[in-house]
Amino acid sequence: MSTSVLFDAPGPRTRVRNGLLTVISVVAVAAALYGIYRGFDAKGQWAGRIWQPFLQWETWTTYIFPGLLGTLEAAAVAAVLALVFGAVFGLARLSDHKWVRVPAGVVVEVFRAIPLLLLIFFIFYLAPALGGSGDYTFMAVVVGLMLYNGSVLAEVVRAGVHAVPRGQSEAAYAIGMRKNQVMRLVLLPQAVTAMMPAIVSQLVVLLKDTALGYIIAYVDLLNTGFKILPARFFGSLIPAAIVIGIIYVALNMALSYLATWLERRSRRSRKTAAAPIAAPGSAEVSVGAGGGTEDAGLAPDRPVE
Amino acid sequence: MEDLIRYAPDLAQGFLENVKLSIVAAIVSLILGTVLVAMRVSPTPVLRAAGTVYVNIVRNTPLTLVLAFSALGLSDQLGLVFSGVPRTNSFWIVAMGLSAYTAAFVCEALRSGINTVPLGQAEAARAIGLTFMQSLRMIILPQAFRAVIAPLGSVMIAMVKNTTVAVAGGFAADAAANMKGAFDQVGASIPIFLGIVVAFMIVTMPIGYFTGWLARRLAVVR
């Protein structure tokens, strides 16, 4: 909805009132920012000495890049596995056979309901019992992410296939295709287009959740920023936190932007009869139900919609 | 099984902390999220921008980072202290961090609810001569609230599960921390794990069912 229908063009009094509101809010925002600045200043957080390390290339190559690599590695491996898991279980839930459908449904529902950190802890403690001693941090993070996000993606796959209009499969059956042909040649290609934005949104969640590895001491970006760097450069905790925060936000914003772009593209797409499905508003460590069209955060803001 | 029975009191105590965190975070994040959404749809560009920046930064930061920063940065370095007792202090640090994080998602859920109201409704409201406040109060908001019940339920379920990340905020007394403690002593125990998972499901499932039921009951038939 756009504002223009809710009220007429502002008259002189409204314009004055809006101007006043703007001035007041500028002052309020500025005051808040200044308060934060003063708080940091009082504790000496703007001292050049503690920001110094981040201007040196060695700091980046020795500490930050390896940490970032750890995060991206875990995210990439987990993403691929989660997509496979999601595809297999999503299709299994669509099966005509009860003995396939029901267990798949149970698995998906259970892994969606478990808090991810508990799952990672459990895998982390279970692994040595099964495979002898060793460093299982990477494995625990990746497997946990795979099971949880795979389950969410399974729901996305199911929703995607359901989003294809029924006439498509009816027509396919009518021209004599078999069940597997209908799925493979008609439904899935169209569903993938519709699912793409939701999948990418879920990948943002997955990337954010790799940070849980910090708790079991997996060397990721967060660990680098909060444990390794401050230990190496005394007093640099807050600068380090701000720097890695910026990296995380930039990464996720880029992915969110990709999701929005894909969604716009699939709305225009002639290749599918299905409208893009909303990102799953399922219970998870990060996604809220921001499934609206212009919700990936980068869309221009408009007043009361 | 005997593992679960032996550690049950500990785990139950930890889980109670998760429930407490959830209750505090639910109340605070709903209030804060409403304030944020009001900022994001206000006619003042400055407030809109401030709300958008906040939501985008917080939404794209891992919760683990938010909590670790709240504890190590805000509390230890910058002296934001809620209480002299370390345990109470870290409880509130985590509760506030979790609220600040969840508020961004509450805001987005509410905003997408406003977006579900068709343009024609507003046009019709104006056409019969309702003022701005009247059309908002009688036409737009009642429909928007109904549309956000289910998404808000999802956000709340996610929040309850997120209370397990409290460890990152230095609050080592919740179910996740106690489970880890038990595992340290007896190794990975399936009964203990399942016990906690079931406890979480007992809390989250009713939220899902209730909000789903309410949303269906109040759904605007179009």
What would the pLDDT profile of A49-79 be if each residue is shown by its tens digit? Answer: 778 778 778 788 888 888 899 999 999 999 9
How far apart CA B38 and CA B48 sit, in angstroms, is 9
Least CB–CB distance from A129: residue in B109, B112, B187: B187
Least CB–CB distance from A238: residue in B40, B77, B104: B77
User: Which residue is closest to B161 within chain A, CA to CA?
Assistant: A115
Which residue in A200, A196, A116 sits closest to A151, CA to CA?
A: A116
Question: A282: pLDDT confidence band, cut at 50, 70 and 90?
Answer: very low
pLDDT tens digits along A100-128: 999 999 999 889 889 999 999 999 988 88
Least CB–CB distance from A117: residue in B73, B154, B164: B164
Cβ contact, residue pair B155, A208, below 8 Å: no
To the nearest whole Å, the CA of B206 is away from the closest chain A CA by: 12
Question: Which two tokens mark A178?
Answer: 């078999």
Ordered DSSP codes for A130-172: HH-SS--HHHHHHHHHHHHHHHHHHHHHHHHHHHS-HHHHHHH
Widest CA span of chain A, in angstroms?
A: 77
pLDDT at A43: 77
| Mean per-residue pLDDT, A253-277 | 81
Q: Is the pLDDT of residue A129 over 60?
A: yes
Cβ contact, residue pair B73, A238, below 8 Å: yes
CB B138 within 8 A of CB B130: yes
Cβ contact, residue pair A290, B187, below 8 Å: no
Task: Please enumerate in sequence order all residues whose Cβ is within 8 A of that of A21, keeping only pairs 6 or more positions apart, or say none.
Answer: B42, B43, B44, B47
How far apart CA B106 and CA B55 sit, in angstroms, is 10
| Mean per-residue pLDDT, A33-50 | 81
Task: Return the sign of the alpha-carbon dihedral for residues A142, A143, A147, A148.
Answer: negative
Question: Which two tokens mark B135?
Answer: 């059309």
**Percentage of chain A surpassing pLDDT 90?**
34
Cβ contact, residue pair A305, B69, below 8 Å: no
| Mean per-residue pLDDT, A152-159 | 91
pTM: 0.85
Per-residue pLDDT of chain B (222 residues; tens, 9 = 90+): 777 788 888 888 889 999 999 999 999 999 999 899 888 877 788 888 999 999 999 999 999 999 988 888 777 777 777 777 888 888 999 999 999 999 999 998 888 887 788 888 888 988 898 887 888 888 888 888 888 888 899 899 999 999 999 888 888 888 888 888 888 888 778 888 888 889 999 998 899 899 989 988 887 776
**Residue A80 CB coordination number (10 Å):** 12
Across the A:B interface, residue pairs with CB atoms under 8 Å apart total 230
pLDDT at A71: 92
**For residues B85 and A303, which has the higher predicted lDDT (pLDDT)?**
B85
pLDDT tens digits along A165-221: 989 999 999 999 998 899 999 998 888 888 888 898 899 999 999 999 888 888 888
pLDDT at A302: 36
CB A91 within 8 A of CB A153: no
pLDDT tens digits along B145-189: 888 888 899 899 999 999 999 888 888 888 888 888 888 888 778
pLDDT at A287: 35
Least CB–CB distance from A237: residue in B77, B200, B208: B77
How far apart CA B110 and CA B144 sit, in angstroms, is 8
**For residues A290 and A139, which has the higher predicted lDDT (pLDDT)?**
A139
Place of tokens 């498509």: A168
How far apart CA B89 and CA B86 sit, in angstroms, is 5
pLDDT at A293: 32
Question: A130: pLDDT confidence band, cut at 50, 70 and 90?
Answer: confident
pLDDT at A304: 33
How far apart CA A245 and CA B64 sit, in angstroms, is 11
CB A82 within 8 A of CB A150: yes
What φ, ψ does residue A146 adopt, rounded to 5°? -65, -50
Which residue in B178, B175, B190 sits closest to A130, CA to CA?
A: B190
Q: Is the pLDDT of residue A146 over 90?
A: yes
Q: How high does pLDDT run on average in chain A? A: 82
Q: Is the pLDDT of residue A5 over 80?
A: no
